[in-house]
Chain A
Amino acid sequence: MSQEPIIKISQLVKKYKGSSVNAVDSLDLTINEGDIFGLLGPNGAGKTTTISMLCSLMSPNSGSIIINGIELNGNNNELKKIIGVVPQEIALYENLTAKENLKFFGEMYGLSGKSLNDKIEFYLNKFSLKEKSDKLINTFSGGMKRRLNLIAGLLHSPRILFLDEPTVGIDVQSKNVIIEYLKELNKEGTTIVYTSHLMEEAENFCTNISIIDFGKEIAKGTPKELIKENTDCNNLKEIFLKLTGRSVRE
């Protein structure tokens, strides 16, 4: 797999209006093509803000983001075609069926006709949602919504996939289906940028990890490297607690 950086973040700063501190504070990150990159941190560390800026949903106060050799600015239509976003909140229409939702999101990505229908059928089968494809979303369980939320971000076969806590609040089976498919996607060449609070999941899933806190990077490397560097810790969870502290965050 290529080790060329596909995403390069330099001195990224984001400060929300009315806030006295930076949500993201001079952050530097390099994500290589083909990585499963875990952006980890406690609540309020700046993970979602960073992902939002990477997806052009939010603009930074300063710093630069280069994706696939193109610097993010106001007009990023070409970049939007190669990135897929799976937000933390379920971004589906409750009063549409699973199929109608996917058709709408597919058409928004510029897909149509048979190719779109085939992709919808494929993913509904893959994520065990075929039988419920004509049911309204408001009848779905949390796990089913999460799986469908993921499909909506995959329809246009993005080269880079941003996942903001994709497995939060779902059962083990749904979590397993999602993680296994993401691994499969990564093997096919998709770069995955993923945020999570689940350290065990991140340790097994990610090829590279960056732990951030108060908007700054405090550790980086592969899970094995991090464990090797912190000889007093047995796993990623212990490293995380050691670096970010045990006090409860807001």
Chain B
Amino acid sequence: MNRLLASIKKELLLLSRDRAGLAMLFLMPVFLVLVMTLLQDSTFKKLNEKQLPILIVNHDADTFGINIVKGLNSANFFKVSEDNNLSKKELEKQIEKGNYLIGIIINENSTNLIKNSIKQKIQNQFPEEVGELFEMDGNETDQVKVEIFFDPVLKNSYKQSILGALKQFSAMVEAKLMF
């Protein structure tokens, strides 16, 4: 025990006199945290200053399409351009040329598809009710509502955040329509 205490005392004395060692022990982590914070901060700043150009072709002039465009505009993260007369090929060309990093086509009737999907879900929850609870607007419920095109140079993290944002808008619209 005496030897252990002697060793601990000796190590503490040595450490207290080893300025370089102390700096490595305490200042380096502080320095590292500072550098990492500055790096992350500059990344966010760049991202906020340099908005990503998005071209939207909105064929759904109803709640879903309007809310997507509105949501992307209010995010301050994207420079949103809307041209509803473009075809899918024309939009792809714009992305290929590098004029836009992201292209989004909101298909016609998307809002109705969402509404039908909601009705279908409710119907499935109460299958023993007499007859149909709702009258469906058409038969389609699971068609693609939105098509997204990315420039290959776009980082995967950006792609994921855009997909996440769109899912969030879609869920918000569904909730709005449900209640």
Contacts and interface: CB of A to CB of B under 8 A. Distances in A.
Nearest to A109: B3
A100 B2 contact: no
Interface string B1-18: 011011101100110011
Interface residues of A, number: 11
- Interface residues of A: mostly helix, strand, loop or mixed? mixed
A60 to B, nearest CB: 27
A104 B6 contact: yes
Contacts of B5: 107
Most chain A beta-carbon contacts within 10 A, residue among B9, B10, B14: B10
A96 B6 contact: no
A103 B14 CA distance: 14
Contacts of A103: 6
B2 to A, nearest CB: 6
Interface in A90-135: 93, 95-96, 100, 103-104, 107-108, 110, 112
Q: Which of A103, A104, A136 has the most CB of B within 10 A?
A: A104
10 tightest CB-CB pairs across the interface, nearest first?
A107-B6, A95-B17, A104-B10, A95-B14, A104-B6, A108-B3, A107-B2, A96-B13, A112-B2, A93-B14
Interface of A: 93, 95-96, 100, 103-104, 107-108, 110, 112, 136
27 contacts: A93-B10, A93-B14, A95-B13, A95-B14, A95-B17, A95-B18, A96-B10, A96-B13, A96-B14, A96-B17, A100-B10, A100-B13, A103-B6, A104-B6, A104-B7, A104-B9, A104-B10, A107-B2, A107-B3, A107-B5, A107-B6, A108-B3, A108-B6, A110-B2, A110-B3, A112-B2, A136-B17
